[in-house]
């Protein structure tokens, strides 16, 4: 009963605020109003705040440089708390405000997908920095994700393995779930295309802690190197057990290995492991350094990949508006969809027909207990 009452009241408030906004007037010609949906509080607050800080920073920069089409950006921020219901409510709010051109957010795929039908019906861009579910962007012509997919990672890793590291025979170890199977397959295809040979493939199920048997078996095939399609925690465990077996060989893996936790858990055993990232805070690229240092100065923490992706969202949106030459929602959507080789902080972005980003990735390696870019 209480719940019903609350949702009734909030609907009334939403609708009336929508009217208020509508009454407040037709688009002000000198601003570009955009909305951000992010988990500012709750379990994902760290990411939500990274979103918010980055988006505010990007907007300030653009406005300081004269804006786009002689208009300044204006931002409205909504806290979804990581709750799909909240995310959908915010979608109602944004779509009922005719001044809003586009929405950036939300953080989780679940939240994005809960809000998706609302943006779709209203015809408003829903640009998510981090929604990784492949079915998200393809679900509506108004939905975009700049996150990319592991599918675009593996060409980079295969090139690294064959061209730079000169591996010929490799062994694969993957976690037996959708993600692990796809990642492993994608690496194998790319590696074989370049003339490499996979000599052994093994898998394990979620929750396994004993990798001695699998490693012992893989070792028998005497591969040049090992590819891991695993999360960082399993990756650390595997590396420790491999070290104990005194089996020393180069290891490369998916971007899921890229986490400070890998080094914390794996210690010396993970030294030398290769992974890849789309955004790397210590990248010497001056644009990235400028971003990271400003961010650190303003907010006191190093921006993570979610922050960089949110930052890219603002700029790719600004770019689309410029190319569309107007703030008409349809024109901006079409321009956004045709973005090509957009140079973001977290890799360049080209959208597929299903509005998922094809991205570029940079190989990294653990050297002396720290990730470093591979030249």
Partner 1 sequence: MFLQQLINGIAQGSLFALIAISFSLVWGLLRMVNFAMGELYMLGAYAGWLVVMHVTPNLGVALFAGFMVGWIVGWLIEKVAFKAMRGVPHIASLVCTIGFSFFLKETASTLFGAETKSMPSYYSQTAFTIAEANISWLQVLMVAVAIIMMVLLQLLFYRTKVGLAVRAVALDYRTASLMGMKVDRVTSLAFSLSGALVGFVGVLAAIYYNAVNAGMGFVPAIKGFTAAVFGGITSIPGAILGGYLLGAIENLSVKFMSSGYRDFVSFLILIIFLLFRPNGILGKKTKL
Least distance between partner 1 and beta carbon 174 (Å): 9
Torsion-angle region of 322 (φ positive above 0: left; ψ -120 to 50: alpha; else: beta): alpha
Helices (H) and strands (E) in the chain, counts: 13, 15
Least distance between partner 1 and beta carbon 109 (Å): 19
CB 142 within 8 A of CB 148: no
DSSP characters for 81-116?
TT-HHHHHHHHHHHHT-TTEEEEE--SSHHHHHHHH
Task: Give every strand in the sheet of 100-104, ordered side by side.
Answer: 72-79, 31-38, 100-104, 125-128, 143-145
Least distance between partner 1 and beta carbon 126 (Å): 29
When the beta carbons of 123 and 267 are compared against partner 1, the nearer one is 267
When the beta carbons of 182 and 208 are compared against partner 1, the nearer one is 208
- Judged by DSSP in three states, 345 sits in coil
Least distance between partner 1 and beta carbon 266 (Å): 8
Rounded Cα distance between 276 and 283, Å, is 12
β-bridge partners, 76: 35
When the beta carbons of 271 and 294 are compared against partner 1, the nearer one is 271
Q: How far is CA 350 from CA 77, 150, 155, 328, in A?
A: 27, 15, 16, 22
Which distant-in-sequence residues (6+ apart) come within 8 Å of 272 by Cβ? 250, 251, 365, 366, 367
Least distance between partner 1 and beta carbon 216 (Å): 5
| Cis peptide leading into residue 106 (ω within 30°) | yes
Burial of 332 from C-beta contacts in 10 A (0-12 / 13-18 / 19+) = buried
When the beta carbons of 261 and 304 are compared against partner 1, the nearer one is 261
Least distance between partner 1 and beta carbon 255 (Å): 18
Q: How far is CA 182 from CA 46, 47, 134, 241, in A?
A: 29, 26, 12, 25
Least distance between partner 1 and beta carbon 261 (Å): 6
When the beta carbons of 63 and 271 are compared against partner 1, the nearer one is 271
When the beta carbons of 171 and 327 are compared against partner 1, the nearer one is 171
When the beta carbons of 138 and 233 are compared against partner 1, the nearer one is 233
Residues that bind partner 1 (CB under 8 A): 176, 201-205, 207-210, 212-214, 216-217, 219-220, 233, 236-237, 240-241, 243-246, 261, 264-267
When the beta carbons of 70 and 246 are compared against partner 1, the nearer one is 246
Least distance between partner 1 and beta carbon 46 (Å): 13
């Amino acid at each position: 009963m209480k719940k019903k009452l609350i949702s009734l009241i909030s609907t009334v408030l939403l609708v009336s605020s929508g009217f208020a906004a509508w009454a407040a007037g037709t688009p002000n010609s000198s601003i570009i109003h955009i909305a951000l949906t992010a988990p500012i509080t709750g379990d994902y607050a760290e990411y939500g705040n990274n979103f918010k800080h980055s988006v505010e920073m990007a907007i300030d920069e653009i406005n300081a440089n004269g804006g786009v089409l002689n208009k300044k950006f204006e931002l409205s921020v909504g806290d979804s708390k990581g709750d799909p219901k909240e995310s959908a409510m915010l979608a109602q709010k944004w779509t009922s405000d005719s001044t809003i051109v586009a929405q950036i957010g939300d953080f989780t795929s679940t939240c994005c997908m809960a809000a998706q039908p609302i943006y779709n019906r209203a015809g408003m861009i829903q640009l998510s920095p981090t929604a990784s579910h492949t079915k998200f962007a393809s679900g509506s012509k108004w939905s975009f994700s700049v996150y990319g997919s592991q599918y675009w990672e593996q060409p980079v890793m295969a090139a690294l393995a064959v061209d730079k590291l000169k591996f010929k025979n490799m062994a694969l170890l993957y976690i037996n779930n959708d993600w692990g199977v796809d990642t492993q397959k994608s690496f194998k295809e790319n590696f074989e295309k370049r003339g490499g040979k996979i000599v052994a493939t093994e898998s394990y199920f979620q929750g396994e802690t004993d990798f001695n048997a699998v490693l012992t078996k893989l070792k028998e095939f005497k591969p040049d190197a090992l590819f891991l399609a695993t999360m960082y925690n399993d990756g650390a465990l595997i590396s420790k057990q491999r070290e104990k077996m005194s089996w020393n060989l180069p290891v490369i893996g998916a971007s899921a290995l890229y986490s400070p936790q890998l080094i914390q858990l794996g210690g010396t055993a993970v030294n030398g492991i290769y992974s890849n990232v789309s955004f790397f805070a210590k990248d010497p690229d001056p644009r990235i350094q400028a971003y990271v240092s400003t961010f650190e100065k303003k907010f006191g923490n190093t921006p993570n990949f979610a922050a960089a992706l949110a930052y890219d969202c603002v700029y790719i949106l600004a770019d689309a508006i410029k190319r569309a030459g107007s703030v008409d929602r349809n024109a901006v959507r079409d321009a956004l969809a045709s973005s090509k080789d957009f140079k973001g902080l977290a890799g360049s972005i080209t959208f597929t027909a299903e509005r998922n980003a094809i991205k570029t990735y940079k190989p990294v390696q653990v050297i002396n207990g720290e990730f470093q870019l591979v030249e």
